[in-house]
Amino acid sequence: MAKPKTPLLDELEKGPWPSFVKDIKQAAEKKPMAQDLLGQLELSYKEKIGHWKHGGIVGVKGYGGGVIGRYSDRPDLFPGVEHFHTLRVNHPTGWFYTTKALRALCDVWDKHGSGLTNMHGSTGDIILLGTKTENLQPCFDDLSDAGFDLGGSGSALRTPSACVGPGRCEWACIDSLDICYNLTMELQDQIHRPMFPYKFKIKVSACANDCVAAIARADCSIIGTWRGKIQIDQKEVQAYAASGLNIREEVTDLCPTKCMSWDEKGKTLSIEDGDCTRCMHCINLMPKALRQGKEKGASILVGGKAPILQGALLSTLIVPFMKLEPPYKELKELIAKIQDWWDENGKSRERLGELINRMGMRTFLKAVGLKPIPQMVKAPRANPYVFFWPEEIKKEVK
């Protein structure tokens, strides 16, 4: 088979950043599928337009998701990518691998697919990029034998993800890895068999730095936080100051609540913990000197999403503090209540955040049994269109 000429893509082999074109060419040495991908991509570069048809419904036995169907609209030119379906494979929580596990994945994919992957997709899954319909089931069977399973797609629970957390990070207020893994294992059915109005995402970040963008992207965002005083090691603060960190300019002046002060003469840092909103800035700058308060837990926020359909939303706070210890009963009960309400009331392709906006936060809170508290809002309403529940209104006595 003649190698396709790719003068446009060849331009992207130049420059210092790793080139995806080199990876596709590497795979194309062995796989006609990858070679036709290269050819079709060159055509897209020439015509400035994509050449993938809308996906059809393909999958593996027993599952309603995990495979994204994809077909070329030019199979006449590129028969190797006539079908080019993607498998989403649930990544190990925290994206940890042994080389043995990675090689096992590569062996499966060399046998059944294009030899191309994404490490990783935006939701976190391992993306096995492109194979034929008839290869899907054998590929899944071999993946399963190698200890891997598919991730979520469509109107399902999408593969939950978590930051590195207690695996390596001193800022972890919760065991993000275990929470994510535990929920993933418990909710397997929701991941593999789409049953909801639309997608549902759970992301776990072990502190407010939110390394997995839970507030921006997840319907249920679980973020580690603490109660009690930030623990200060004054000697280490002084060491930071001596090493050139300007404590006033870089730390206390940038504190959003101005709850800290630095006594330049006495070389003492003090914190008014009652005013602290636990943003992490000071701790980020002085990890040796400052440690979070001793009582650890999570804030729960809900409703985050990207724009489709009614505009992007950030998750909003519904539980300021929840202790999270295995088996995470309280968290699981809350998620179940939220999903039940959404499943009952959501329209097709309506995300949780949009449903809350349509039905009203008060309706949502009542349904999931949470008491309204000031922490849930930036400010109370400023418009006078207040709704009362029927039982709050005195009925006329005849």
Applying the rule CB under 8 A, the residues between 81 and 100 that interact with another protein are 84, 86, 90-100
User: What's the rounded Cα separation, in Å, for the pair 212 and 307?
Assistant: 18
CB of 386 to another protein, least distance (A): 20
If one asks whether residue 54 binds another protein (CB under 8 A), the answer comes out as yes
Q: Which residue type occupies 303?
A: G
User: What's the rounded Cα separation, in Å, for the pair 92 and 181?
Assistant: 8
Q: Which of residues 188-217 bind another protein (CB under 8 A)?
A: 188-189, 192, 208-213, 215-217
Q: Of these, 5, 134, 294, 312, which contacts another protein (CB under 8 A)?
A: 312
Q: Which of residues 333-372 bind another protein (CB under 8 A)?
A: 347-349
Both tokens assigned to 383: 């418009």
Q: Which residue type occupies 121?
A: G
If one asks whether residue 45 binds another protein (CB under 8 A), the answer comes out as yes
Helix 20-28 with 32-47: angle, nearest 10 deg: 140
**Dihedral pair phi/psi, residue 226, rounded to 5°:** -145, 165
Number of residues that bind another protein (CB under 8 A): 125
User: What's the rounded Cα separation, in Å, for the pair 249 and 244?
Assistant: 11
Give the CB-side neighbour count of residue 79, counting CA atoms within 13 A.
2
If one asks whether residue 130 binds another protein (CB under 8 A), the answer comes out as yes
> Do β-strands 85-89 and 126-131 pair in parallel, antiparallel, or remain unpaired?
antiparallel
If one asks whether residue 381 binds another protein (CB under 8 A), the answer comes out as no
Query: Near another protein by CB under 8 A, which window of 164-172, 268-276, 336-344, 364-372?
Result: 164-172
Helix 352-359 with 329-345: angle, nearest 10 deg: 70
142/330 with CB nearer another protein: 142
Closest CA relative to residue 58, chosen from 126, 136, 144: 136
Q: Which residue type occupies 118?
A: N
Q: Of these, 156, 202, 223, 324, which contacts another protein (CB under 8 A)?
A: 223
CB of 268 to another protein, least distance (A): 20
If one asks whether residue 129 binds another protein (CB under 8 A), the answer comes out as yes
If one asks whether residue 147 binds another protein (CB under 8 A), the answer comes out as yes
44/345 with CB nearer another protein: 44
If one asks whether residue 55 binds another protein (CB under 8 A), the answer comes out as yes
**Cis preceding-peptide flag for 54 (omega within 30 of 0):** no
Both tokens assigned to 243: 């090493």
Query: Near another protein by CB under 8 A, which window of 167-175, 323-331, 366-374, 383-391?
Result: 167-175
Query: Near another protein by CB under 8 A, which window of 109-117, 258-266, 325-333, 369-377?
Result: 109-117
Q: Which of residues 231-260 bind another protein (CB under 8 A)?
A: 249-250, 254-256
